[in-house]
Amino acid sequence: MNFIKKLSLIALSAIAFSSCDKTSKDGNTTEPAEGVVTDSTQKKETAANTKLETASFTIEGMTCPMGCAATIEQKLSKLDGVEKAKVDFDSKTATISFDPAKQSTESFVKTVEKIADGAYKVSDVKAGSKV
């Protein structure tokens, strides 16, 4: 009986640690390798006279706020023309303020669904409100 408890504990630990792994199914990481410097301070240019639009959509497949939601938010934020991206794990939604001359809702859907070999699915895309 004690052996079964230990075996169960090890199995649960393995599942917990691997559920939010930043490695896709083919072994490629979704984050930069250690030692690779990325410029997170790079400003995206948005024309001063351009009206920003807001898009929102539902994301299915997220299993944790720190690994999944944060990774998706980071990828969306780095797209050219995106002023702000927010992914809410609890409500499974993403909200993005963007320059429609540089991005579209289709590009956001492709970006999200490409992360982790298609582990995330986008639905209920709503766009068009001017900011």
Domain coordinates in residue numbering, the chain: 50-131
**Global pTM value:** 0.63
**What pLDDT is attached to residue 6?**
66
On whether the CB atoms of residues 107 and 75 are closer than 8 A, the answer is no
CA distance 14 to 12: 5
**What pLDDT is attached to residue 63?**
94
What's domain 50-131's architecture?
Answer: 2-Layer Sandwich (3.30)
CA distance 119 to 115: 7
**What pLDDT is attached to residue 61?**
95
Low-confidence ranges of the chain (pLDDT < 50): 16-17, 21-29, 32-44, 46-47
**What pLDDT is attached to residue 44?**
47
